[in-house]
Amino acid sequence: MTNVPDELAYSAEHEWVSGDPDAGAVVTVGITEHAAAALGDIVYVEAPRVGDAVVAGEVCGELESTKAVSELYSPVSGTVTQVNEALESSPETINSDAYGEGWIFKVELSESATDLLDAEAYAATIE
């Protein structure tokens, strides 16, 4: 069974969000362990750039694996404040530590994140 940490919020597109969901807060975004397993070995990450505006539910990057190229959706709206530069040389970190060192980017929220799923609701979508 896939690990779905209770302290995170989730999108239907298999991204996770860590942090305060209120406007003005900075949250961390990554993809779930379920998504990483489905993709297989991730070999390239195209993340949004610092300063980019991202919109909840819209494509903001790509993940390339040995199986396929998958679009990366932003689960929240706001401005990108930081990108995990370690993924440039070690994209496979997402596979080995999806909820830790495999985070992808951080966003200062322009509006509260209200459409996210809690762990129980997300787990129900992947069973």
The full set of domains in the chain, from first to last, is 10-112 (2.40.50.100)
- Give, in order, the Cα–Cα distances in Å from 94 to each of 34, 77, 81, 99, 102: 11, 22, 20, 8, 4
Residue 69's SS3 state is strand
Question: What digits encode the pLDDT tens for the residues 4-35?
Answer: 999 999 999 999 999 999 999 999 999 999 99
Residue 65's SS3 state is strand
Question: What digits encode the pLDDT tens for the residues 78-118?
Answer: 999 999 999 999 999 999 999 999 999 999 999 999 899 99
